Amino acid sequence: MKIVFVQLPLLDHGLHYIAGNMPNAPAMLHAFCHIHHGNTVTALQLPQHIQNFGSDTVITNFLLESEPTHIAFTCYLWNVERSLAIAQKIKALTPTITIIFGGPEIQLSSYILSHYHPEVDLFVIGEGEFFFDYFVDDTHKKFIYTINGNMVFIQPANLFIPLSKMVEPYTAGYLLPMYDNTISVEIIRGCPFKCNYCLYSKNAHSVRAFSSETLATIIKKAKNDNLKEIYLLAPTFNQSVHFKDYLSTLIQHENSIPLHTELRADTITKDIALTLKKANFHSVEVGLQTLNHQCLRKIGRKTNPQKELDGILLLKECALTLQIGIIPGLPYDTPQSFYSTIDTLLDLGLGNEIELYPLMVLPGTELYDTAQKQNAVFMEKPPYYFIEGFHFSQNDLQSINHYFEETTGFVFNPPFIPSFIFHTEGSLTGSVYINLQKNTDIPLTVFEYVQTNHFTFFLQSDSSTQLHHAVHIIVNQCSDTLVYSIVLIHNHILDDQAIGTPILTKFQDTFYSRLMYFSDLYDRLPVRIFQLFNALTPFLEALKQYHCINPMLKVTQHNIDSLQKKKFAYPFPVVIARGLSPRCIKWIKEKYADSIELLSFEDEADQKYVYEALGIEYSKVMDYKTIIL
């Protein structure tokens, strides 16, 4: 038996999540199978650059070239549809491979199990280690049920994998640091609380925590690896019976690596906050959700809001960076009460620490059942966003989002503009530049170059008709499981609506469009259109007229003086021409010091120069190759 473990990332245009795809589940299952069933199982994981950045075709080809007997996908709501698309490709090419889907998204009432999926041989509800312990020995059939034609393994609630058989994959050598040289390690599995909107306690029936000796080993290895941060995965780190031992261990071993975790703040005292700081915790997440006491009680969060606030302020006094999660739309809350929650946090000086999360009505939760009984409206497909009900209208939720953005300065959908740094080499081809004056049409072979899950097409032409036709061809070929950027290099105003309408038509019900439900219409599209202008006048006109196309201005020797002398509505997206950074660095500091995401460059040396001048750390994940046609 040869198993390949796969966990696909959440995709977005800015690549914010791709580098943060934490493959803990594949790593733990890889380690478990190798250590406990190594005589009969050969296990491997997808290489990080393939898993995090590869297109569907690249991933499919790698999987088939590995010649596995089994492929196991870890499914979350953000990757289950793409996992299905890849499974379909694999089954079409090699039907003898057994495909297994597990992970938090696989629930009895989840959308995926409401239909028959012939490409998936077996779905797993429960812990992966528990399943593979039985599956490898072929004793799993007593836990198999048929649901809508699908074969489903269901772990009984009273059975679970004992701590003695669990493997911590980082110290065992199966989990690698992420691209930013950080690591996420599961130190506690299971949660003692049963909030009615959360799946965590249902997916892990028993709370099991690695010992403080394991934590000490993690710290020792992390020091040797020169890691920049450790995220201790635990739903409520300070509720563990080992909490005091953990802190003592970290202090005794003189931990020097910044730590991050999730806490309940209602039991935080000044001494605990100081000890967390001494143990080198730099940041913590606190799931406050709301300050409505009745709502908290009804949804299963037995906590005192005032004590939560007291604990949060103690953590802040000790200089820990806070991420305070709040969720609008919960049952028994109201819009007025939720505005009061935001205002209270603002009054306490916590505006920079608040994070607003959309409510998700997750299949398998008590909230899901309640929403159905009360005829609340929510998405039937991932990400299962709550839309209205429970005293909240659609307009209420939109208004709360706008109020949150206005009062905190937080932006849900950060701006993104493509990079114009073209590399002739790279492990994957991430873009193609097509001069349509040389190539009168899009070459049919161009789609064979798509090797990344976010791919960019650069199209240069003086003809608007030619550009419209090229965009139409590309959009028709785009997969609805990937994201794309199309950059039009053209100096005249285009028909924005004619370009945008076919994209809206094709991609109105993709996972990405549903994920971006609360964003502006064209920001919901997995395909985004940009236009690069050299001339200032048409660019300024495009800023006024366009809705779908995102205009950008190339800053050149010819227009930099005008930009520096005249007053414009800064900041707007710009691309700095090669070698121009030293000349315009003063202007960049004045206009873009707080908007670096709106700057793109033609040369990497220019980008490094600007970042250094602004005191911003310059880092990149990897180089993509650009094909020039």
> Residue 615 is which amino acid?
G
The enclosing domain of 144 has a CATH number of 3.40.50.2300
Task: Give the chain's radius of gyration (CA, Å).
Answer: 26
What pLDDT does residue 462 have?
94
What pLDDT does residue 203 have?
61
Residue stretches of the chain with pLDDT short of 70: 16-19, 201-205, 621
What pLDDT does residue 438 have?
85
- 356 and 453 both lie in a single domain: no
| Residues 6 or more apart whose Cβ sits within 8 Å of residue 502 | 472, 475
Is 168 a member of any domain? Answer: no
Secondary structure letter of residue 360 according to DSSP = B
**Is residue 590 packed enough to be buried (19+ CB in 10 Å), middle (13-18) or exposed (0-12)?**
exposed
- 264 and 383 both lie in a single domain: yes
What pLDDT does residue 180 have?
86
Beta bridge partner(s), residue 185: 232
What pLDDT does residue 566 have?
82
What pLDDT does residue 497 have?
95
Of 570, 489, 471, 452, the closest CA to residue 528 belongs to 471
Is 418 a member of any domain? Answer: no
- 114 and 199 both lie in a single domain: no
Beta bridge partner(s), residue 589: none
Residue keyed to tokens 């785009």: 478
Distances (CA, A) of 231 to 20, 22, 27, 32, 555: 11, 10, 16, 21, 40
Is 165 a member of any domain? Answer: no
Range of the domain at 609: 428-628
Assign 71 to helix, strand or coil. strand
What pLDDT does residue 453 have?
96
What pLDDT does residue 308 have?
96
- 114 and 191 both lie in a single domain: no
- Measured between alpha carbons, how far apart are the two ends of the chain, in Å? 44
What pLDDT does residue 18 have?
66
Is 29 a member of any domain? Answer: yes
Residue that finishes a domain, picked among 138, 154, 170: 154
Beta bridge partner(s), residue 484: 455, 527
What pLDDT does residue 440 have?
77
CA 316-318-321 angle, 5° bins: 50
Is 64 a member of any domain? Answer: yes
What pLDDT does residue 207 have?
86
Residue that finishes a domain, picked among 101, 119, 154: 154
- 404 and 436 both lie in a single domain: no
Model confidence pTM above 0.85: yes
What pLDDT does residue 199 have?
86
What pLDDT does residue 443 have?
82
Strand ranges of the sheet holding 454-460, from the earlier edge strand across to the other edge: 599-601, 574-576, 550-555, 527-533, 483-489, 454-460, 428-435, 624-628
The beta-carbon contacts of 407-413 under 8 Å, at least 24 apart in sequence, are 407/342, 407/346, 407/351, 408/346, 408/351, 408/352, 408/354, 409/351, 409/352, 410/354, 410/355, 410/356, 412/356, 412/518, 412/519, 413/516, 413/519, 413/520, 413/523
- Distance separating alpha carbons of residues 114 and 415, to the nearest angstrom: 36
Is 170 a member of any domain? Answer: no
Q: Which residues of 542-567 are buried (b: 16+ CB within 10 A; e: fewer)?
A: bbeebebbbbbbbbbeebbeebeeee
- 136 and 282 both lie in a single domain: no
Q: Where are the alpha helices (DSSP H) in 280-334?
A: 293-298, 305-317
The enclosing domain of 301 has a CATH number of 3.20.20.70
Using an 8 Å Cβ cutoff, are 212 and 249 in contact?
Answer: yes
Of 358, 387, 382, the closest CA to residue 371 belongs to 387
Is 416 a member of any domain? Answer: no
- 501 and 393 both lie in a single domain: no
- 402 and 432 both lie in a single domain: no
Number of domains in the chain: 3
Tokens of 353: 């620490």
- 362 and 487 both lie in a single domain: no
Is 123 a member of any domain? Answer: yes
- 185 and 104 both lie in a single domain: no
- Chain centroid offset of residue 597 CA: 18
- 362 and 217 both lie in a single domain: yes
Beta bridge partner(s), residue 628: 433
What pLDDT does residue 17 have?
65
Distances (CA, A) of 209 to 203, 246, 252, 450, 479: 15, 11, 20, 43, 42
Beta bridge partner(s), residue 392: 389
The beta-carbon contacts of 32-39 under 8 Å, at least 24 apart in sequence, are 32/128, 32/129, 32/132, 32/165, 32/166, 32/167, 33/3, 33/132, 33/136, 34/174, 35/167, 35/172, 36/133, 36/165, 37/132, 37/133, 37/136
Q: Please give the backbone phi and psi of residue 610, each rounded to the nearest 5 degrees, phi first.
A: -65, -45
Q: Within 13 Å of residue 567, how many CA atoms lie on the same side as its CB?
A: 0
Distances (CA, A) of 66 to 1, 30, 41, 47, 85: 12, 15, 14, 12, 19
- Distance separating alpha carbons of residues 92 and 539, to the nearest angstrom: 47
Using an 8 Å Cβ cutoff, are 555 and 533 in contact?
Answer: no
Residue that finishes a domain, picked among 346, 374, 408: 408
Using an 8 Å Cβ cutoff, are 164 and 136 in contact?
Answer: no
- 8 and 89 both lie in a single domain: yes
Assign 504 to helix, strand or coil. helix
Of 259, 258, 266, 213, the closest CA to residue 233 belongs to 259
Torsional sign, CA 235, 241, 243, 248: negative
Using an 8 Å Cβ cutoff, are 135 and 40 in contact?
Answer: no
Residue keyed to tokens 């495909």: 99
Answer left, alpha or beta for residue 481, where phi above 0 means left and psi between -120 and 50 means alpha: alpha
